[in-house]
Amino acid sequence: MKVGILTGGGDCPGLNAVIRAIGKKGIVHYDDEFIGLKNGWAGLMSLDYIQLERHNFSGILHLGGTILGSSRTNPEKEEGGYDLAIKNFKELGLDALIVIGGNDTLGVAVKLHELGIPIVGVPKTIDNDICATDMTFGFDTAVSVATEAIDRLHTTAESHHRCIVVEVMGRHAGWIATHSGIAGGADYVLIPEQPYEIKDITDKIQLRMNRGKFFSIVVVAEGVELRVEGYDIQTRETDDFGNIRLGGIGDLLAREIEKRIGIESRAVVLGHVQRGGTPTAYDRVLGTKYGIAAIDMVHEGNFGMMTALHGTKVVPVPIEDGVKESKIVDKDTYEIAKVFFG
Ligand code: F6P
């Protein structure tokens, strides 16, 4: 078969492990031919692609990012965008398309599949907010990076008797914040799933100070909304899918904590460091399992479906089930983080 592969949305560690597994199994086991569409949906819209040969799939397992490039291009934003995508799919002579992406990219995949394109999805995001799968690859690496940063910030916070606020990624869901907060022993974790008052946090830090602990680590997900008069952290800039560019909540929190209870505070934004670099062994294995399952699903004609982790098994589920809403942090896991607040 002639199969197209694309990676869309924010990149994440493990994308190359998926691409490698698809290519190696596809060529050796099924005698497939591959086209790599460059920069997500943009590659299909503008016919920007490369022929992927066996050597292209070698030496990439440990590499972060994606050898195909990525973008947040949305065919829906363009007049006749879906028609153009279908026309180009046919022009390339493709039999199937494997789409590796998060909620936005896979949302487009659902639409194109409804319009007749044979698509298999692979869920990707460091945010771990895709439904119908226990986990997305990239998440484990992001949590490891954030945990290491928290460990390092702990020692300097203690030496200088400071509160350090660590801002991590997580637009709609606080998975990275909750897991790295638990793993790093955070004294407070804020997630987008619930509202907060600044006093909730300062009371806990004050409690620690009363106990003679003159340092604290607060982890906050970038998507947390905290309103403080006269302080606007939202830029109005949006991407093709209407996502606002986030950032600034860590700074706001650090300022307010210092102002209200007098502990010297600093904000550290981990940002794209969480998304870059080499994937953990876990993400390489999960990415590999997803890639193998995706090419098998293509040959089984399992279209409109995505790979999903259920326990230790990778199974096909409708892409639609994965992207109908964001998978938010469950109460039980957040309750575990809360035990250690203050
Ligand atoms: O991939 C999702 C994500 O990691 C979000 O948590 C974050 O808001 C977004 O990417 C930022 O990505 P970019 O700066 O590439 O738009």
Per the listing, tokens 């698809």 go with 22
List the chain pLDDT tens, one digit each, 342 residues.
Answer: 999 999 999 999 999 999 999 999 999 999 999 999 999 999 999 999 999 999 999 999 999 999 999 999 999 999 999 999 999 999 999 999 999 999 999 999 999 999 999 999 999 999 999 999 999 999 999 999 999 999 999 999 999 999 999 999 999 999 999 999 999 999 999 999 999 999 999 999 999 999 999 999 999 999 999 877 766 666 668 888 988 888 899 999 999 999 999 999 999 999 999 999 999 999 999 999 999 999 999 999 999 999 999 999 999 999 999 999 999 999 999 999 999 999
Torsion of CA 197, 198, 199, 205, to 10 degrees: 130
Q: What is the fold, at CATH topology level, of the domain defined by 141-275?
A: Rossmann fold (3.40.50)
Architecture of domain 2-138+279-323: 3-Layer(aba) Sandwich (3.40)
In a mutational test of the pocket of ligand 1, which residue from 103, 128, 171, 238 has the highest number of ligand atoms less than 8 Å from its CB?
Answer: 171
pTM equals: 0.96
Q: Is 124 in the pocket of ligand 1 (CB under 6 A)?
A: no
pLDDT at 232: 65
pLDDT at 18: 98
Q: Is 246 in the pocket of ligand 1 (CB under 6 A)?
A: yes
Query: Given this chain, do its domains 2-138+279-323 and 141-275 carry the same CATH topology?
Result: yes
CA of 153: how far to CAs of 138, 166, 217, 227, in Å?
23, 9, 8, 26
Q: Is 118 in the pocket of ligand 1 (CB under 6 A)?
A: no
Which amino acid is present at 138?
A: G
- The kind and range of the H/E element at 173 are none
Rounded to 10°, the helix 175-184/139-160 angle is: 50
Q: CA nearest 273: which of 105, 100, 152?
A: 152
- Domain range list for the chain: 2-138+279-323, 141-275
CA of 314: how far to CAs of 127, 133, 235, 285, 293, in Å?
19, 9, 39, 12, 7
| Whole-angstrom distance, CA of residue 315 vs CA of residue 297 | 10
| Whole-angstrom distance, CA of residue 100 vs CA of residue 20 | 13
- What residues are labeled active site? 127
Q: Where are the alpha helices (DSSP H) in the chain?
A: 15-30, 41-45, 81-91, 103-114, 139-160, 175-184, 198-210, 249-261, 281-300, 319-323, 331-338
Q: Is 127 in the pocket of ligand 1 (CB under 6 A)?
A: yes
In a mutational test of the pocket of ligand 1, which residue from 15, 243, 270 has the highest number of ligand atoms less than 8 Å from its CB?
Answer: 243
Q: What is the atom index within ligand 1 of the atom nearest the CA of 275?
A: 4
Tokens representing 74?
A: 């949305």
